[in-house]
Amino acid sequence: NLTNVSAGKLLQVVQEHDSTFTRFQSSSTTFVSTQFKVTITPTAANSKILVDFRFISNNNGNAQDLYMTIRRSVAGGSFVDDFIPNGSQTNSNGNRYLTRNYGQSSRNEISSSMQILDTPSYTLGQAIEYRIYARSGNSSYNVEIPSSPDRTPVLGFATEIAA
């Protein structure tokens, strides 16, 4: 019985996964692009996009770090992380990340997820791609997403929410 209340509405949900089930491996200590992405073309102006990735990650060694984040590209432009909050999730290289897989005394193959609400600038008809970027904390260790390529999907979801 609410009156004069305006609330966001779900306009569409997109789900993607890499159907080749390829595993990303890297020992780079700077963020590199993975092949894991989700692309959405908003149907309304000023929509927010709820981005969600679900996967299994592997830090691949005792006391090793796997840093993970999401970057956005609008209409084929450069991938940016300007929508990731500043603060405690900043590594020593100054790059923002959303989550990490760290095991002080263990190699971790764990379920991981990243979720963030984005308010991108776009023109109707422009596709927005969200992609996982990752990096190792130590160049001697390959970090992995997913931890096993044997039919383990990395699921990406993008939900358009009306302003």
Write out the DSSP string of 22-77.
Answer: PPEEE--SS-EEEEEEEEE--SSTT-EEEEEEEEEEE--STTEEEEEEEEEEETT-
Per-residue pLDDT at 89: 60
Q: What per-residue confidence (pLDDT) applies to 41?
A: 98
Cα 121 to chain center, whole Å? 18
* 10-residue averages of pLDDT along the chain (163 residues): 70 93 91 96 97 93 88 95 72 71 83 94 97 92 84 93 92
* CA–CA distances in Å: residue 144 to residues 57, 112, 156: 6, 12, 17
For 86, residues 6+ apart whose C-beta sits below 8 A from its C-beta are 96
Q: Name the residue among 7, 2, 4, 1 with its Cα closest to residue 162.
A: 7
Query: Can you give the pLDDT at residue 72?
Result: 96
The pLDDT value given to residue 2? 62
The predicted pLDDT at position 163 comes to 85
